[in-house]
Amino acid sequence: MYKEYEKCMLCPRECKVNRNIGEIGICGMTGNVYAARASLHKWEEPCLSGSDESRGAGTVFFTGCNMGCVYCQNFVISNCETKGKEVTVNRLTDIFFELEQKGAYNIDLVTPTHFMPTIKAAIEKAKNRGISVPFVYNTGGYEKTECIKELDGLIDIYLPDFKYFDNDISGKYSGVQDYFQCASEALDEMVRQCRVPEFDESGEIMKKGVIVRHLVLPGNVGDSKNVVKYIYETYGDSVFISIMNQYTPVRKIPDYPQLNRKLTKEEYDSVVDYAIEIGVENGFVQEGDTAEESFIPLFECEGI
């Protein structure tokens, strides 16, 4: 048990429940860590997944989430419909090494915020045992800066979403009115830790750096452009911007009919063209019809 779970304030929601005695936070979880999949993943950015089909990013998908986006692609685990398996610090450390042995280029921690103390302990154990691959902190971006500071020296690559510029939109779709403030302050700390990108000898695989993801939502082009503008004007090409078109309406959302369709090519191209127009060079785009279920893995406890 970790004291941080006793009066939980790990994320900006600060629900203050005692997760160590079985109380459930807004994230949907107690202090017991659950994960639903640990496997090689080919659908991350090319510098994380690589081009070798036998390898990939070593993703560990954790159950629960501090965001609660109405359109979540991984809804079954973020909302705990599928819980996965409980993992201890020792088991989580072993999973990291198993992924390394399978050929993972990195250990990609997906939705880790609400389990940060346990994950931090497992990373420390793995580094003490000599793990050789970098750790990726793959987060929705709704973070507390002081918690990100706790990861300094442990995380090699930060992979945050930057979902919204307008807090009215973040309130509507994710139930948080302070998303921009929290995400921008946390990103400052991530960049402070990993500002200078580093790659392996081939120049293909990232070893250290920051990649900021933005998923373009249907009917949300204006806000997407504001996000891209903010990131580029603030950090220039010291961070990579990944503009994604893979939004998939995995279930009907009655209150938001505008989200019950895929993104159009025109919408996505408009955001990408804008990024090019303002000078973005270090970026990733998705080609063609990537809004397929292949981006949404099965959560059947593989590798857990």
Write the pLDDT tens digit of every residue in 151-190: 999 999 999 999 999 999 999 999 999 999 999 999 999 9
Structure tokens at 227: 């996000």
Calculate the dihedral angle through the C-alpha atoms of 146, 149, 151, 157, rounding to the nearest 10 degrees: 120
Contact of 79 with 71, CB cutoff 8 Å: no
Are 210 and 240 in contact by the 8 Å Cβ rule? The answer is yes
With a pLDDT cut of 90, the percent of the chain lying above it is 91
Q: Report the relative pairing of strands 104-110 and 85-86 from DSSP bridges.
A: unpaired
Can you give the pLDDT at residue 298? 86
What type of residue sits at position 37? R
The pLDDT value recorded for residue 295 is 64
pLDDT of amino acid 80: 87
Q: pLDDT under 50 in the chain at which residues?
A: 293
Contact between 126 and 93 (Cβ < 8 Å): yes
Q: Which residues pair with 110 in a beta bridge?
A: 61, 138
Specify which residues 161 forms β-bridges with.
Answer: 213
Long-range contacts of 180-184 (CB under 8 A, 24+ apart): 182/12, 182/141, 182/142, 182/143, 182/144, 183/141, 183/142, 183/143, 184/230, 184/234
Could you give the CA distance from residue 44 to residue 195 in angstroms, rounded to a whole number?
A: 20
Task: Decide if 132 contacts 103 (C-beta within 8 A).
Answer: no
Q: Look up tokens 């945050």; give the residue.
A: 160
pLDDT at 293 (0 to 100): 47
pLDDT of residue 5: 98
